[in-house]
A and B are shown apart, each in its own frame.
Chain A
Amino acid sequence: QQQVKQSPQSLIVQKGGISIINCAYENTAFDYFPWYQQFPGKGPALLIAIRPDVSEKKEGRFTISFNKSAKQFSLHIMDSQPGDSATYFCAASQNQGGKLIFGQGTELSVKP
């Protein structure tokens, strides 16, 4: 029940295209859903986050869509750029600041 399942495991997108990464969870007590971006040899960096009281959040080229009834959320990267090539992790937590439960990660490669 604590798991967060992420797909796909890897993704190749052409420059300018849309990258879509999906996550699903079971624990309905989760109340915070962040996405992190990680480059090789670096720590994860917070990209964007959403709470279950909204269905969508947009920041620049990055959008989170949230479906509470389906217990799913997704990250959309518009106009994908080669610099976006990295590993992306979804995560979830509860109790406003507890431990993060991470998905397995998606390795994104944006081809020029």
Chain B
Amino acid sequence: DTGVSQNPRHKITKRGQNVTFRCDPISEHNRLYWYRQTLGQGPEFLTYFQNEAQLEKSRLLSDRFSAERPKGSFSTLEIQRTEQGDSAMYLCASSLGAAARGTQYFGPGTRLLVL
């Protein structure tokens, strides 16, 4: 069990550029979640998938954000036309869903800095 992995771990970009993050969940976990965490705050929910279906999206997820999980395994989160307010830690978590009654395991996160 290698845990949830995220790449890259750090990303520095200029305002207006597009960025893409990848999350590899724990194998056999059918649910995958994205959260955003700013300094001094708790993680905020963005979206989650069950297998390849995107089941819920937060209103925090503006139309500049898109997430995919094409084959029900890894997931990508893309931010288009980045803004300085997008600077945050982006966290991915996975779980067995209802079978595990909610236990989510988090990855190390991708820290994004928009200049």
A interface residues with partner B (beta carbon < 8 Å): 6, 31-32, 34, 36, 41-46, 49, 51, 89, 91, 93, 95-105
Contact of B100 among A89, A97, A98, A105 (CB under 8 A): A97
How far is A42 from B111 in the complex, measured between Cα atoms in Å? 10
Q: CB of B22 within 8 A of chain A?
A: no
Contact B98 A42 (CB under 8 A): no
Residues A32 and B43 in contact in the complex (CB < 8 Å), given A42-B108, A43-B108 = no
Write out the residue numbers on chain B whose beta carbons fall within 8 Å of the beta carbon of A46.
103-106
How far is A49 from B100 in the complex, measured between Cα atoms in Å? 12
Chain B residues with a Cβ closer than 8 Å to the other chain, count: 30
Q: CB of B25 within 8 A of chain A?
A: no
Contact A96 B106 (CB under 8 A): no
Write out the residue numbers on chain A whose beta carbons fall within 8 Å of the beta carbon of B42.
6, 89, 91, 102-105
Write out the residue numbers on chain B whose beta carbons fall within 8 Å of the beta carbon of A97.
31, 95-98, 100-102
